[in-house]
Structure 1
């Protein structure tokens, strides 16, 4: 059995090597190779000729090239300089060259410019922080059509009472309308990931709900620490009570409010 696995792994590596690129697992590089799925994602995004589109993790540019044909400009954010060079090579000397802007670096640490729409097959390990980076981005974008690991996508769209309903579900749906578009099998990628994937459409709520999201996120963090407990039980936990008392004392200090000597947060 070990010998068979080794041979299979070798065939995959040889196939990728022939194309001159060894994909980096640390960056979650799984290139979407099925043109029908790429076209479907672009169709569902509702791209317009006047749009500025953001793509995160363009890889070798399979989606980028098709997107450039439909929009005014594509801003592609890529951390791997080898793939940046590959992408530049694909558009060099073509009408697409002037329509493509490449941001080199970690998208989570990059200040994103204005964009109308985001379509991307993103690295799965940055899914959660990226979703909230996009949703808190201003000015608002129209929508995002994104490829995620299937279970993560299911959590995004989960409703109260569903087994997968969690902080991610409630926080995302507070800020956006979220719809599951399609499932994508692992064989549509090169190299294939270990998990199945799904495409989700995210449309920010504009105007956003009139709440402080940082405070809301803190509330849901406490509420979902023990998912099957009541809110009352969650807030009575010793660790939670200690945090609440600390925060209250800071609040009183900042607002010059006196705290009674016998004060007890309980």
Structure 2
């Protein structure tokens, strides 16, 4: 008889089954299993005994337990009831049980409580919305130490001229100081994700810049839609001009400013860009001060983006 090959067993699959949990990778369940990485993330957060820590996606609680030993309270936000049960079972009957507070539900649809520090191995598909949910949260928190997909982390810290420099980069850096802490390989997770990961530290600017963030984001969105084009080309698009003309007419109506005969928003925009030497600039090489200057010039002339 032909020899029958034994079915190859996956060590990772065996470990998951041994725990009795099938992780849902479609919602980003990749549990950080390397205790050295867990310890390093907790240390980078510089936790204090009086701190209240927000953890998003605690999973089976590898990082949660480490933090509970160091802080006043950990608020763990988890969408999967199975993970909630696993986490509660892990601390049940221990001295740290009373310091754990669990919030069950989607963190993006939940009002965040007060916290001092956020530490999390995030589901990667919610990376961008959770960054801005945290940065726009009040009162201010001290810092966040977060695990992201490596390329997303690179975008957060990218500087003008970098290949990955984008709207995400400048919006985040406007509101916070962002530092890349360490790269984390796939095999530090169970089950391993398809991408490399990185840990980033985000420290909100307090006080925040004195600008209307919706206005700022409206301007940056136009400029980075084609970041390699000149600003002159970006602002000549018909959809952009239609939106700015509508906003300008509202501005004039509110402030009782008569529209001059034959008014052209295209000509007005071109005059502003040319007067302040922005016509030939490109978003890919402009820093925060450049965009603040452009926003100020536009607003002074009644051009608004929100």
Sort the TM-score into its range (normalised by shorter chain): over 0.9
Cα 1:15/1:262, change in 2 over 3 Å? same
Q: Name the structure 2 match of 1:233.
A: 233
Q: How many residues align?
A: 261
Q: Residues 86-101 of structure 1 correspond to what in structure 2 (within 5 A)?
A: 86-101=86-101
Cα 1:220/1:191, change in 2 over 3 Å? same
Q: Name the structure 1 match of 2:52.
A: 52
1:23 lines up with 2:2 in the alignment = no
Q: Name the structure 1 match of 2:206.
A: 206
Q: Name the structure 2 match of 1:221.
A: 221
> 1:102 offset after TM fit, Å?
0.7
Q: Residues 1-266 of structure 1 correspond to what in structure 2 (within 5 A)?
A: 7=8, 12-254=12-254, 257-259=257-259, 262-266=262-266
Q: Secondary structure of the residue that 1:75 maps to in structure 2?
A: strand
What do residues 213-264 of structure 1 show as CA deviations (whole Å, max 9, x unaligned)? 1111111100001010111211111121112122223444555555456332
CA–CA distance in 1 between the matches of 2:126 and 2:255?
38
* Greater mean alpha carbon deviation, residues 154-163 or residues 229-238: 229-238
> 1:265 offset after TM fit, Å?
1.4
TM-score of the pair, normalised by structure 2:
0.81
Question: 4+ residue runs of structure 1 moved beyond 2 angstroms?
Answer: 10-15, 246-264
CA–CA distance in 2 between the matches of 1:102 and 1:209?
33
* Greater mean alpha carbon deviation, residues 13-22 or residues 125-134: 13-22
CA–CA distance in 1 between the matches of 2:133 and 2:218?
17
Q: Secondary structure of the residue that 2:103 maps to in structure 1?
A: strand
Cα 1:61/1:258, change in 2 over 3 Å? same
Q: Secondary structure of the residue that 1:224 maps to in structure 2?
A: helix
Larger radius of gyration: 2
CA–CA distance in 2 between the matches of 1:22 and 1:83?
10
What do residues 56-85 of structure 1 show as CA deviations (whole Å, max 9, x unaligned)? 000000000000001000011001111011
CA–CA distance in 1 between the matches of 2:59 and 2:146?
15
CA–CA distance in 1 between the matches of 2:159 and 2:145?
20
CA–CA distance in 2 between the matches of 1:24 and 1:93?
28
CA–CA distance in 1 between the matches of 2:100 and 2:120?
15
TM-score of the pair, normalised by structure 1:
0.93
> 1:15 offset after TM fit, Å?
3.0
CA–CA distance in 2 between the matches of 1:147 and 1:183?
9
Q: Which runs of 5+ in 2 are unaligned?
A: 267-306
> 1:151 offset after TM fit, Å?
0.3
